Amino acid sequence: MALPVFRQPDLLIRALTHRSYLNEHPEAGDDDNERLEFLGDAVLDFVVALWLYKHYPDLPEGRLTTLRSAIVRTEKLSEFATQLALGEQLRLGKGEIDSGGRARPSLLADAFEAVLGALYLDQGVRAVQRVLHPLLKAEVDRIVAAQADRDAKSVLQEVAQGRFGITPRYRTVQASGPDHAKVFTVEVCLRDEPIGRGDGPSKQAAAQAAAAHGLQTLAARSDSKSSAGLAAPETKDISTGH
């Protein structure tokens, strides 16, 4: 997927300019992307809210709000930015580049919002919708199917206690990267069996990712048992259901 051609290329250049680039290249005389990020954040919220309102007419306000929150979180916006190859186009200072800035989720998410703000100024809200709608369709379908707009840890706890009578346990198994860009890996277990693992910029985010993976694991097992004509497990053996 690619961005449309800008009528005012300077807007796109500004949207892709991080302040670290200007700190090292004051002679460039450009503005950084922070003001466009501010505008793009508002445009993004509006376009997502309108799309959800039209496509899910039966959902209550509370569920629409949680869906929007699931879509506009940093990790998801950074994925959208990656699909548009924004990381490769960012103007960054050498320090940011050397520390992995082109792949940093927070920086990519900010750039994505800035590009949306620039596109809105350049061509209006319909151009923003043409970029966002294809991204939203696939993502929202997945979120609704997996209930990913709900807190994954809470859902996993409900499932684990309801099906097995036990509470999930989380443990941090790895922390890597420099102090300013740590990546944590968390594993979730039911009793002593690992059922999910996730990465994130904080232990809380990694635990949420691990819980979401755990839910997928349990759902796959449930589907496998159903297709084989087996009854839902009544006992607490999570690996076999016996």
| Residues annotated as part of the active site | 41, 113
Q: In the numeric block, which tokens belong to residue 76?
A: 């998801």
Cα 223 to Cα 241: distance, rounded to the nearest angstrom: 13
- Name residue, tokens 């796959």: 220
Q: How many other β-carbons are positioned within 10 Å of the β-carbon of residue 133?
A: 13
Contact by Cβ (8 Å): 24, 94: yes
Indicate the angle between helix axes 61-71 and 125-146, nearest 10 degrees: 110
Contact by Cβ (8 Å): 102, 18: no
Cα 132 to Cα 2: distance, rounded to the nearest angstrom: 11
